[in-house]
């Protein structure tokens, strides 16, 4: 998928007919239809909120775009640096990894901690993997951890023993350390106090201003209104059970 | 970039007993592939065939050599293959006793690998051994001790030092954290992850532990009864498994 398929200039992400059903082979061959025929277009500089009740498929959609869940039908097109488009639904593992390194960031709902790796390294890693030097990455990581009010005394420790809110701030710093052109956020402000929630909202707005295309899930109504300029109700694509 | 190792339709049977059947995959420089599956599913058999330690019954294992391009390792002469195994490759056994010489010192275990690739200067060899002991977190003061006086975790780290000192491009590991207690495992894993990352090594890792696979590998291959039943990006195979056997494997552990 290398010829440009869309003409509009600022388009970053484009979903056509995206469908997801889980087939549970060991539970009586049960199938769980989640969404059918999701279409969406997202431009650089936009932040779109995915809305819908619990279980409607918001996280599933985000994980499909990140390549963490497979996509059985439809296209998930992401814009490459040279303007061409790649279909993540068809991409092989190596391509998904390349896109995750350079084009597509993801802040999951919870940090997956790796024992013994220092916080500063957890946070700076994505920037190093994207090609920045050790010192540049560490400086940027330090800057973000400072903004997120994570005490410097914790930077050399593994986040294993951190509180839920501290882990989430590490997770957010990690997600924002490299300036990805597209960013996926799954409840980034959950479990944060007011001060830190505002820092995260500022980070999102700054990312939008530099032209990132952002797709996010925000349970908190105020947060959503503060940063999103587009809204999509996932229930529209509810699959027939 | 292109492949470092290409395995095609690899089959190994032990008489009437099936080892592994019709396995194919490619490994590129810097990639880590994990192989998971139940006991007896053929993981060790496959790894041994790929690493040139066991002759397959069918199929091929092609390796991108530094000077001669792609070569079928099972078509090489025995000395050629041995040379490759000593220089370009490393093999980390589940039981460190199978990968170490237990009756010579820790330093000699590491130094031997260097001498095998032509190092002669005693001082340099000893310094390299000291360096690798500390990189694998073995107290350099223990350099003259026999591995028999080491704990299981220390022996495993020494085995890794012995394997990596000669600068291999491809590392095969069979259950590198098996038989170690959980805290020692975490330390070893973190060390392996860091080494693979910093040295840009390629690796094929056999494990029955899905958390180990998640932490070390970018791609995952699931085996059942000698065959590959599912393969793909590690986190996708673990979080959205498609095959009934993979679903069973994933659902039988807590948060892999
Ligand atoms: N890996 C999976 N295997 C099987 N079913 C899954 C998997 N992930 C999600 N589901 C199912 O897909 C549906 C959508 O789940 P999802 O997590 O996307 O909901 P959500 O909209 O994010 O809800 P919430 O607001 O509660 O986070 C649910 O029925 C869920 O059980
Ligand atoms: N030398 C041998 N002679 C005969 N059969 C063998 C031999 N080695 C292995 N097998 C058989 O081949 C099959 C695959 O064995 P293998 O050691 O590859 O399994 P594995 O997946 O590594 O299992 P485990 O997780 O228990 O180590 C098993 O049925 C085993 O009994
Ligand atoms: Mg959710
Ligand atoms: Mg085995």
- Dihedral over alpha carbons A218, A221, A227, A230 (to 10 degrees): 80
pLDDT score recorded for residue A137 = 97
Alpha-carbon distance B244 to B40, whole Å? Answer: 18
Q: Which of B147, B167, B187 is at the close of a domain?
A: B167
pLDDT score recorded for residue B194 = 82
Report the percentage of chain B scoring pLDDT > 70.
98
pLDDT tens, position by position, for chain A (241 residues)?
Answer: 444 444 446 999 999 999 999 999 998 899 999 999 999 999 999 999 999 999 999 999 999 999 999 998 999 999 999 999 999 999 999 999 999 999 999 999 888 877 788 999 999 999 999 999 999 999 999 999 999 999 999 999 999 889 999 999 999 999 999 999 999 999 999 889 999 999 999 999 999 999 999 999 999 999 999 999 999 999 999 977 5
Q: Provide the residues around ligand 4 (an ion) whose CB is within 5 A.
A: B 44
Q: Strands B170-174, B89-92: parallel, antiparallel or unpaired by DSSP?
A: parallel
pLDDT score recorded for residue B73 = 95
Question: Would residue B93 count as lying in a domain?
Answer: no
pLDDT digits (tens, 9 = 90+) for B102-135: 999 999 999 998 998 888 899 999 999 999 999 8
Alpha-carbon gap: B118 to the closest alpha carbon of chain A (Å): 34
The model's pTM: 0.93
Residues B163 and B173 in one domain: no
Residues B82 and B152 in one domain: no
* DSSP symbol at B99: H
pLDDT digits (tens, 9 = 90+) for B192-201: 888 888 888 9
Strand ranges for B100-242 from DSSP E = 170-174, 202-206, 219-224, 227-233
pLDDT score recorded for residue B60 = 97
Q: Which of B167, B186, B204 is at the close of a domain?
A: B167
Show the domain range for B186.
5-88+169-253
Question: Would residue B94 count as lying in a domain?
Answer: no
pLDDT score recorded for residue A113 = 78
Q: What interface predicted TM-score (ipTM) does this complex get?
A: 0.92
Report the percentage of chain B scoring pLDDT > 90.
71
Q: Strands B170-174, B17-27: parallel, antiparallel or unpaired by DSSP?
A: unpaired
B236 to A117: CB separation less than 8 angstroms, yes or no: no
Beta bridge partners of B205: B34, B173
Residues B174 and B249 in one domain: yes
pLDDT digits (tens, 9 = 90+) for B203-222: 999 998 898 899 889 999 99
A150 Cβ neighbours under 8 A, 6+ residues apart: A119, A166, A169, A170, A173
Question: Would residue B225 count as lying in a domain?
Answer: yes
A185 Cβ neighbours under 8 A, 6+ residues apart: A62, A106, A107, A175, A204, A214, A215, A216, A217, A218
pLDDT at B16 over 60: yes
Question: Would residue B46 count as lying in a domain?
Answer: yes
pLDDT score recorded for residue A34 = 95
**Whether the Cβ atoms of residue B190 and residue A116 lie closer than 8 Å to each other:** yes
pLDDT score recorded for residue B1 = 60
Q: How many domains does chain B have?
A: 2
**Whether the Cβ atoms of residue B155 and residue B100 lie closer than 8 Å to each other:** yes
pLDDT digits (tens, 9 = 90+) for B239-249: 999 999 999 99
**Whether the Cβ atoms of residue B213 and residue B34 lie closer than 8 Å to each other:** yes
Strand ranges for B102-181 from DSSP E = 170-174
User: In whole angstroms, how far apart are CA A127 and each of A68, A134, A141, A170?
Assistant: 20, 9, 9, 14
- How far, in Å, is the centroid of ligand 3 from the Cα of A55? 7
The gap between the terminal CA atoms of chain B, to the nearest Å, is 31
3 state DSSP class of B28: coil
The mean pLDDT value for B182-196 works out to 78
Chain A residues with CB under 8 Å of a chain B CB are 22-26, 63, 67-70, 93-94, 96-97, 114-117
The mean pLDDT value for B141-151 works out to 95
Alpha-carbon gap: A100 to the closest alpha carbon of chain B (Å): 12
Residues B147 and B181 in one domain: no
Q: Residue B22 — pLDDT band, cuts 50, 70, 90?
A: very high
Question: Would residue B60 count as lying in a domain?
Answer: yes
Q: Which two tokens stand for residue A138?
A: 């560490």
**Whether the Cβ atoms of residue B186 and residue B145 lie closer than 8 Å to each other:** no
**Whether the Cβ atoms of residue B160 and residue B92 lie closer than 8 Å to each other:** yes
Residues B40 and B136 in one domain: no
Residues B143 and B153 in one domain: yes
Interface test with A, best of B2, B32, B212, B236 (most A CBs within 10 A): B236
pLDDT digits (tens, 9 = 90+) for B73-97: 999 999 999 989 888 999 999 899 9
Q: Which of A18, A30, A32, A67 to mutate to test the pocket of ligand 1 (most atoms within 8 A of CB)?
A: A32
Alpha-carbon distance B34 to A137, whole Å? Answer: 29
Residues B54 and B178 in one domain: yes
Q: Which two tokens stand for residue A229?
A: 């300029």
Residues B147 and B207 in one domain: no
A77 Cβ neighbours under 8 A, 6+ residues apart: A1, A5, A6, A13, A14, A15, A16, A85, A86, A87, A88
Contacts of A94 in chain B (CB under 8 A): 28, 31
Q: Which of B117, B152, B167 is at the close of a domain?
A: B167
Residues B136 and B158 in one domain: yes
Find where tokens 């980390």 sit. B92
**Whether the Cβ atoms of residue B85 and residue B77 lie closer than 8 Å to each other:** no
Residue B206 has phi, psi (to 5 degrees) of -90, 130
Residues B76 and B141 in one domain: no
**Whether the Cβ atoms of residue B244 and residue B238 lie closer than 8 Å to each other:** no
Q: Which of B10, B43, B95 to mutate to test the pocket of ligand 2 (most atoms within 8 A of CB)?
A: B43
Which residue's CA lies nearest to atom 2 of ligand 2?
Answer: B14
Q: Between these two residues, B56 and B2, which has the higher pLDDT value?
A: B56
Which residue's CA lies nearest to atom 10 of ligand 2?
Answer: B19
Question: Would residue B26 count as lying in a domain?
Answer: yes
**Whether the Cβ atoms of residue A165 and residue A200 lie closer than 8 Å to each other:** no
pLDDT score recorded for residue B225 = 96
Q: What is the DSSP string of A28-64?
A: TTEEEEEEEEEEEEEETT-EEEEE-STTSSHHHHHHH
CA of residue B155 relative to chain centroid, distance:
16
Residues B217 and B202 in one domain: yes
Residues B152 and B218 in one domain: no
3 state DSSP class of A222: helix
Q: What is the CATH number of the domain that holds B63?
A: 3.40.50.300
Question: Would residue B97 count as lying in a domain?
Answer: no
- How far, in Å, is the centroid of ligand 1 from the Cα of B255? 16
Alpha-carbon distance A111 to B217, whole Å? Answer: 18
Q: Residue B223 — pLDDT band, cuts 50, 70, 90?
A: very high
pLDDT score recorded for residue B204 = 96
Question: Would residue B95 count as lying in a domain?
Answer: no
């Amino acid at each position: 998928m290398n010829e440009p398929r869309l003409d509009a200039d600022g388009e970053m992400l484009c979903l056509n007919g995206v469908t997801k059903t889980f087939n549970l082979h060991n539970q009586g061959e049960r199938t769980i239809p989640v969404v059918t025929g999701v279409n969406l277009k997202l431009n650089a500089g936009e932040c779109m909120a995915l809305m819908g009740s619990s279980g409607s498929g918001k996280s599933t959609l985000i994980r499909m775009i990140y390549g963490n869940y497979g996509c059985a039908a439809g296209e998930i097109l992401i814009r490459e640096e040279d303007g061409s488009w790649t279909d993540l639904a068809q991409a092989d593992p190596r391509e998904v990894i390349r896109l995750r390194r350079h084009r597509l960031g993801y802040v999951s709902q919870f940090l997956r901690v790796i024992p013994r790796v220092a916080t500063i390294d957890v946070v700076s890693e994505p920037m190093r993997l994207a090609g920045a030097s050790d010192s540049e990455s560490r400086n940027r990581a330090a800057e973000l951890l400072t903004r997120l009010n994570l005490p410097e005394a914790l930077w050399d420790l593994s986040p294993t023993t951190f509180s839920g809110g501290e882990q989430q701030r590490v997770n957010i710093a990690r997600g924002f350390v490299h300036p990805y052109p597209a960013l996926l956020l799954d409840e980034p402000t959950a479990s944060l106090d007011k001060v830190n929630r505002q820092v995260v909202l500022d980070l999102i707005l700054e990312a939008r201003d530099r032209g990132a295309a952002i797709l996010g899930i925000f349970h908190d109504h105020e947060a959503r209104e503060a940063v999103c300029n587009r809204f999509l109700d996932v229930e529209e694509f509810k699959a027939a059970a | 970039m292109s492949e470092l190792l290409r395995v095609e339709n690899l089959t190994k049977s032990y008489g009437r007993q099936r080892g592994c059947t019709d396995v194919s995959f490619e490994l590129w420089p810097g990639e880590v592939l994990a192989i998971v599956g139940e006991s007896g599913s053929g993981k060790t058999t496959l790894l041994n065939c790929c690493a040139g330690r066991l002759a397959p019954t069918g199929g091929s294992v092609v390796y991108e050599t530094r000077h001669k391009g792609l070569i079928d390792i099972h078509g090489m002469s025995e000395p050629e293959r041995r040379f490759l195994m000593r220089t370009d490759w490393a093999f980390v056994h589940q039981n460190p006793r199978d990968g170490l010489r237990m009756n010579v010192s820790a330093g000699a275990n590491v130094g031997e690998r260097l001498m095998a690739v032509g190092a002669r200067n005693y001082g340099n060899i000893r310094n390299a051994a000291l360096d690798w002991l500390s990189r694998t977190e073995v107290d350099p003061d223990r350099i003259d001790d026999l591995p028999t006086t080491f704990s299981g975790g220390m022996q495993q780290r020494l085995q890794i030092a012995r394997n990596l000192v000669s600068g291999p491009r491809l590392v095969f590991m069979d259950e590198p954290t098996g038989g170690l207690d959980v805290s020692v495992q975490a330390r070893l894993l973190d060390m392996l992850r860091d080494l693979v990352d910093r040295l840009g090594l390629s690796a094929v890792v056999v494990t029955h532990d899905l958390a180990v696979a998640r932490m070390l590998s970018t791609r995952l291959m699931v085996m059942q009864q000698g065959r590959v039943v599912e393969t793909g990006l590690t986190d996708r195979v673990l979080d959205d498994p498609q095959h009934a056997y993979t679903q069973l494997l994933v659902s039988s552990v807590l948060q892999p």
